[in-house]
């Protein structure tokens, strides 16, 4: 598998997006988030996505140079038309709007429709943390997951992300799908020729499978929770309602090209208590959890976001590994927009 330094990968990906017609600002924001996903170990939301994005741009399904349009607004809320722009660019604009509103009104909710794939939820929640606020983001999209007890795709992997500031400790950053496995991780396993753990997906007949190809042959993902999968199913339905129905995007199972429905929320901590006090207690909570007794077979307890930070430090030194399939897709995508990636290798 090819290995690249983060900056090397950024330059290649920037060239591809610019070749596809994206502005400097658009290309930089999308590439920043994609490469960051690879750095922290979430290859499912990394540069593996570029081929699909560029295909959408060239086919006219994804627009460039989009400024989001507020359709309906109050002091604390906004319904936004994303104009089918680059998802990361749209979601960054809407999260900035959410932060502005929360700064003035202490809490905000932004609901967005006509939006393409936005990537990792935590990327936007973290924007609120940088302003000493709490951030939340979730999306719905095309169906890929069955309800608990079902075998028909009804929900997206329905990811959600929370980010909460701390003081001396690092922020709490939770980014999860409400299915056992994110759709992108199935794609990564497929690209690498790997099997999936049992319990991630079912085949078209509703039987458990470890072959990622079965997911693309009429199979589906399973809701988070295994034998208590009604919990993940319930969370998926909440995401479908808040991100899909509230925005007008519609539920995941509804047909047609509907993109993603996006739900973003920001809470101004200072509206409830002094930020210094809150951060102090966050530090105490994090230290108490990490200092609690570990179960047999475990050496330590990791707080959400901690593993990603460690992975990033490691990959900044060792580089980012891409599967041969992902690298080939990048090369072919570059050729489509007259970019020869061999000059960067």
Say whether both 16 and 160 belong to one domain: no
Residues 135 and 94 in one domain: yes
Same-domain check for residues 227 and 117: yes
**Same-domain pairing of 74 and 61:** no
With contact defined as beta carbons under 8 Å apart, do 114 and 80 qualify? no
Pair 27, 173 in one domain: no
State how many domains the chain has: 2
| Cβ-based neighbour number of residue 25 at 10 Å | 11
Distance CA 286, CA 40 (A): 21
If asked whether residues 151 and 229 sit together in one domain, one would say yes
Is the pTM for the entire model greater than 0.85? yes
* Cβ 66 vs Cβ 344: under 8 Å: no
Kindly state whether residues 107 and 152 are assigned to the same domain: yes
Residues of the chain below pLDDT 70: 1
pLDDT tens by residue, 266-310 = 999 999 999 999 999 999 999 999 999 999 999 999 999 999 999
C-alpha angle 23-29-30 in degrees, rounded to nearest 5:
90
Look up residue 150 and give its two tokens: 């079902």
What pLDDT is attached to residue 255?
80
Please report the pLDDT score of residue 1 as a whole number: 67
Could you report the per-residue pLDDT of 24-43, keeping only the tens digit for each?
A: 999 999 999 999 999 999 99
pLDDT at 345: 81
Quote the domain boundaries for residue 95.
67-180+222-290
Q: Are 128 and 266 in contact (CB under 8 A)?
A: yes
Domain at 40, CATH number: 1.10.1530.10
CA 175, CA 247: separation in Å to the nearest integer? 21
Residues 74 and 50 in one domain: no
Residue 170 confidence (pLDDT): 98
pLDDT recorded at residue 6: 97
Q: Tell me if 342 is assigned to some domain.
A: yes
What is the structure's pLDDT at 263?
Answer: 99
State the CATH number of the domain containing residue 227. Answer: 3.30.1370.60
Cα 46 from Cα 39, distance rounded (Å): 9
Other C-beta atoms within 10 Å of 7: how many? 10
């Amino acid at each position: 598998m090819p290995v690249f330094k983060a900056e090397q990968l950024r330059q290649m990906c920037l060239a591809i997006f610019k070749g596809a017609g994206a502005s400097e600002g658009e290309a930089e924001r999308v590439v920043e988030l994609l490469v960051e996903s690879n750095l922290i170990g979430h290859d499912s939301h990394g540069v593996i996505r570029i081929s699909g994005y560029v295909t959408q741009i060239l086919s006219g399904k994804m627009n460039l140079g989009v400024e989001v349009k507020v359709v309906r607004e109050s002091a604390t809320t906004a319904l936004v038309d994303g104009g089918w722009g680059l998802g990361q660019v749209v979601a960054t604009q809407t999260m900035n709007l959410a932060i502005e509103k929360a700064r003035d009104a202490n809490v905000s909710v932004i609901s967005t429709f006509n939006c393409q794939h936005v990537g990792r939820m935590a990327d936007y929640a973290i924007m609120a943390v940088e302003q000493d606020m709490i951030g939340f983001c979730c999306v719905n999209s095309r169906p890929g997951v069955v309800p608990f007890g079902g075998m028909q795709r009804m929900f997206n992997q329905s990811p959600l992300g929370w980010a909460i500031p701390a003081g001396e400790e690092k922020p709490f950053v939770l980014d999860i799908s409400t299915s056992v496995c994110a759709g992108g991780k199935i794609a990564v396993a497929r690209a690498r020729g790997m099997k999936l753990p049992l319990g991630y997906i079912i085949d078209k007949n509703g039987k458990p499978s470890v072959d990622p190809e079965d997911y693309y042959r009429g199979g589906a993902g399973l809701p988070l929770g295994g034998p208590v999968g009604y919990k993940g199913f319930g969370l998926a339905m909440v995401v479908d309602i808040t991100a899909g129905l509230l925005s007008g995007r519609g539920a995941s199972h509804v047909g047609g090209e509907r993109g993603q429905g996006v739900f973003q929320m920001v809470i101004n901590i200072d509206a409830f208590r002094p930020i210094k006090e809150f951060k102090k207690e966050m530090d105490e909570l994090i230290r108490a959890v990490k200092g609690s007794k570990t179960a047999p077979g475990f050496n330590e307890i990791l707080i959400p976001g901690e593993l990603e930070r460690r992975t990033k430090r490691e990959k900044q030194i060792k580089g980012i590994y891409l599967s041969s399939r992902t690298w080939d897709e990048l090369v072919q995508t570059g050729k489509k927009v007259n970019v020869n990636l061999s000059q960067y290798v």
